[in-house]
Amino acid sequence: MPRYALKVEYHGGSFAGWQRQKEHPSVQGAIEAALEKLESGTHNIAAAGRTDAGVHGLAQVAHCDLQKDWEAFRLSEALNYHLKSARIAIVDCAAVSDEFHARFSALERRYLFRLISRRAPLTHDRGLAWHIKHGLDVDAMQAGADRLLGRHDFTTFRSTLCQADSPVRTLDELRVEQITMANGTEYRFHVRARSFLHNQVRSFVGTLERVGTGAWTPDDVSRALEVRDRAACGPVCPPEGLYLAGVTYPENPFA
């Protein structure tokens, strides 16, 4: 059966997450329904990461197995036709070998979190960023972020519902960027690791926001990490500012 890699962009506000659910709309379910329009039967696609409800995808990667040989561009066009009523787009498609697996072949995932500070409500970015009304100290947040880099037990920064076998992960990048806009300030958190725990990125950002306000210090971040206790985490920020921004493989399937 020919296998195809799909690069997927989606607005998570319309979905209960990536993973297929019986009673709620999901990104996976919508793509599988589109595949059924092309080839009858049950389809089960696999993705690089399962994003939560409200989380967006800029470059999620999934793979599917089909019966017929498709020209990759025609497959993406056909899927986009059937996905046009959903806020999902297949932005790239490529034929790959049977050894390629969207999840297990991935070397790292990259996430972006957008936080916008301004007094006025968001209009164009509503549902696409976390809105706060107060300013933040970007240098303090970066100092706190640096305490989280490396290999640690991240029990404090994962959901109690996390199903991962181990809380130990290696965080390769947590960079805070400040962008001055005409109508406010945007803070972007760039996060990179081989794999992540459930709610890990949102736990990081919610904690660092407390550092940015001065309510926490970078030393408080270190202490929270060291106690390995979920109760020591700062507030978990809302999902609408989070994006799965990219996935790295040994060879780029879309090159």
pTM of the full structure: 0.96
Q: Which two tokens stand for residue 179?
A: 């962008």
Q: Which CATH architecture has domain 108-246?
A: 2-Layer Sandwich (3.30)
Kindly state the greatest CA–CA separation across the chain: 58
Q: What is the pLDDT of residue 189?
A: 98
- From the list 52, 137, 153, 220, the catalytic residue is 52
Q: How many CA atoms lie within 13 A of 55 on its CB side?
A: 23
The residues near 4 (Cβ < 8 Å, ≥ 6 apart) are 63, 64, 65, 66, 70, 72, 75, 93, 94, 95, 96
Beta bridge partners of 181: 184
Q: Any idea what DSSP says for residue 34?
A: H
Residue from 96, 93, 80, 114 nearest 10 by CA: 80
Q: Is 52 among the residues known to form the active site? A: yes
Averaged over 160-184, what is the pLDDT? 96
What is the rounded CA–CA span in Å between residue 3 and residue 69? Answer: 9
What is the rounded CA–CA span in Å between residue 31 and residue 80? Answer: 9
Same fold, 3-105 and 108-246: yes
Average pLDDT in the chain:
97
Q: What is the pLDDT of residue 223?
A: 98
Q: How confident is the model at residue 159 (pLDDT cuts 50, 70, 90)?
A: very high
Q: How confident is the model at residue 9 (pLDDT cuts 50, 70, 90)?
A: very high
Q: What is the pLDDT of residue 98?
A: 96
**Strand-strand pairing, 56-65 and 242-248:** parallel
3-state secondary structure of 204: helix
Averaged over 147-163, what is the pLDDT? 96
Q: How confident is the model at residue 60 (pLDDT cuts 50, 70, 90)?
A: very high
Task: Identify the helix (H) or strand (E) that includes residue 8.
Answer: strand 3-10
Q: Would you say residue 194 has pLDDT above 90?
A: yes
What is the rounded CA–CA span in Å between residue 252 and residue 212? Answer: 37
Which ranges of the chain would DSSP assign to H, the alpha helix?
27-38, 72-82, 138-146, 200-213, 218-227
Averaged over 2-8, what is the pLDDT? 98
Q: What is the pLDDT of residue 1?
A: 86
Q: Delimit the domains of the chain by residue range.
A: 3-105, 108-246
Q: Which two tokens stand for residue 199?
A: 């709610």
Averaged over 83-90, what is the pLDDT? 96
Q: What is the pLDDT of residues 197-254, one digit of tens each?
A: 999 999 999 999 999 999 999 999 999 999 999 999 999 999 999 999 999 999 999 9
Percent of the chain clearing pLDDT 70 (strictly above): 100
Q: How confident is the model at residue 58 (pLDDT cuts 50, 70, 90)?
A: very high
Q: What is the pLDDT of residue 22?
A: 87
Q: Would you say residue 54 has pLDDT above 90?
A: yes
Total H helices, total E strands in the chain: 5, 10
* Fold exhibited by the domain 3-105: Alpha-Beta Plaits (3.30.70)
